[in-house]
Structure 1
């Protein structure tokens, strides 16, 4: 579970010279996931112990927020429009059809889902772990009316899925050094990267298209591919630990921490060079999203 004591919603700033403004904070709230449909309309999932878990919603770029409750322990959000969205949670997958006003348990099993992504109104993918360490994929092709669960691998540790389209996608898991790829919409998965270095973990992955992707690791490196994951190269990044990545075209944003600081860094050449764009010692960045 990702924890955060204080958060800045670093969502809609510019590229390098932007001013970053804290939009909402509560020292008792823990935020796990953020998703914006556009620059104004967004959602944040989290919880505030011992109160119920919640979804925050903004329609004005984070100036104001309204709250709705959700069951389970939310970990990942995905929306396809203003009304239609899903949330992966500890006890299943939740769905809203009214812009987050109400959330209903859409699919439930023994898997603790940690990442979800919808490609369109119909095609959705969620990944999670089922004790004692089996990585499962749940897939729907009818907007959540039915879900099909399949075993991907014997891995554990909050897996993350990044689908480039409804056929090509990737999975990483924070306690594993492997990258898995599918080319048939999740029906089969192949290992396209594996590192034998002890404790070498991959925490996040993001592809800007079917060819170009970045994966975040520990130890001051990222993994970069330009051939759809067939080959990967390690590149330096000024962070000891990478927690979140987002790529758009040749732009790449990465959050994480170094020695004595937490930061977001930016690259406009897909990882060859990096520029720090925000640093704050008191914040732990749990998710970033650009729209």
Structure 2
């Protein structure tokens, strides 16, 4: 394949349905040849058991519609196009992953099954223009290579959720009752998941609603809302914005909130998201940090961390962490002194940046050592000096998205030896 030949997009159009009630699918799409069996990452079962793509019972206002694939399944794209303006990525293992980019008011979603050698267009058809972000775990989430969700907030219409159970070949669309911005999204099975949303902030208030689904995103119901009463009523605080969310199973989860406190603000649920309580965390000093979302990497249930950061100049942020090794009951401060991006594959192996160098730890962050940059990484860093995103799916397989300041061009690199050497995707 000539990798300099640009993608010839195939535009598909379809008749629109009259919008139904809250959480009801607007249309159901399926692959006419039948869904292929999925190959799951370690720790997940294969197949699509428990997830139905059949339409809900029709109502009088519903309009029949033929199944429409997102794009032809054999459509390949030029890797060079993938380096233009990527907004995010999510990798499921060393070979399978998704990446996406903004295109005017919309976006394009791409899928690879061979480590980035070839990419296929997996964009849902008919996606509306929107102005919000496309962060992984915020508006885009894939549970495995087959099951994924994209949440978009059009400028005026209610918020939409697109769902696929065949790796992006076809999509199902559902909606929330109002327009609200997605701030966090996660699934612990192909059917069980949560979507945190936030309305526009006004007079120090950030109204939040946590939605939950038990049918893979075909329908959503409110699970918790914000209130000034906060934890006294088991609700969420209204003054702080959500900066991250993580569930380790169907019952236990955490929310991180932005604040100006010396310690991170974390809330915890033990009932699947209906009631939340604030976790007491002792600050390490009077340094005021902003807090990122909690992470429990590699399916861990005991080891986790939440990044905290402080600005040290116009384009420089220092990253430290609060770490737990008892499943979130207690958190202790760790001075990691990193910058920009960080990623852990398991409880021991992690990577980050410091003074423009890639750092690695093999002891859970107790010590960090610089990894000398090879010729490919040095060359890319000269043109793309900002680490936008870093993700390792194991002790050896990693992905690095580099970019310019602001929303300039990006470059995608991969490593198969723990960050010692890197290869450009294109």
Q: TM-score range by the shorter chain?
A: 0.7 to 0.9
- For the pair 1:245 / 2:387, whether they are aligned, the reply is no
Distance change in 2, residues 1:255/1:13 (3 Å): farther
- For the pair 1:179 / 2:325, whether they are aligned, the reply is no
In terms of fraction of residues, the more helix-rich structure is: 2
Q: Which residue of 1 is the match for residue 413 of structure 2?
A: 265
Structure 1 position 62, deviation (Å): 1.1
Q: Which residue of 2 is the match for residue 95 of structure 1?
A: 212
Measured against aligned partners, the alpha-carbon deviations of 1:223-277 in whole angstroms (never above 9, x if no partner) come to 3211111112344454522233322222112223148521222111121111121
Structure 2 distance, partners of 1:163, 1:185, is 9
Bigger RCO (CA 8 Å, 6+ sep): 1
- For the pair 1:156 / 2:156, whether they are aligned, the reply is no
Structure 1 distance, partners of 2:261, 2:140, is 28
In terms of fraction of residues, the more strand-rich structure is: 1
Q: Which runs of 4 or more aligned residues in structure 1 lie more than 3 Å from their structure 2 counterparts after TM superposition?
A: 2-5, 10-13, 24-27, 130-135, 151-154, 173-176, 200-203, 217-223, 234-239
Contact 2:111/2:122 (8 A) holds in 1:
no
- For the pair 1:44 / 2:182, whether they are aligned, the reply is no
Q: Which residue of 2 is the match for residue 254 of structure 1?
A: 400
For structure 2, the 5+ residue unaligned runs are 1-86, 89-100, 199-207, 226-235, 311-317
Structure 1 position 19, deviation (Å): 2.9
Structure 2 distance, partners of 1:228, 1:169, is 10
Q: Which residue of 1 is the match for residue 348 of structure 2?
A: 211
Q: Which structure: larger Rg?
A: 2
For structure 1, the 5+ residue unaligned runs are 279-291
Give the secondary-structure state (helix, strand or coil) at the position aligned to 1:263: strand
Structure 1 position 43, deviation (Å): 0.6
Contact 2:400/2:412 (8 A) holds in 1:
yes
Structure 1 position 151, deviation (Å): 5.4
Structure 1 position 86, deviation (Å): 1.0
147-156 or 105-114, which moves further after superposition? 147-156
Contact 1:172/1:202 (8 A) holds in 2:
no
Contact 2:148/2:167 (8 A) holds in 1:
yes
217-226 or 61-70, which moves further after superposition? 217-226
Structure 1 position 27, deviation (Å): 7.3
- For the pair 1:28 / 2:129, whether they are aligned, the reply is yes
Q: Which residue of 2 is the match for residue 285 of structure 1?
A: none
Distance change in 2, residues 1:261/1:40 (3 Å): same
262-271 or 29-38, which moves further after superposition? 29-38
- For the pair 1:274 / 2:422, whether they are aligned, the reply is yes
Q: What RMSD over aligned residues (CA atoms) do the two structures have, in Å?
A: 3.0
Per the normalisation by structure 2, the TM-score is 0.56
Give the secondary-structure state (helix, strand or coil) at the position aligned to 1:9: strand
165-174 or 132-141, which moves further after superposition? 132-141
98-107 or 171-180, which moves further after superposition? 171-180
Per the normalisation by structure 1, the TM-score is 0.79
Contact 2:336/2:365 (8 A) holds in 1:
no
Structure 1 position 24, deviation (Å): 4.1
Structure 1 distance, partners of 2:197, 2:419, is 32
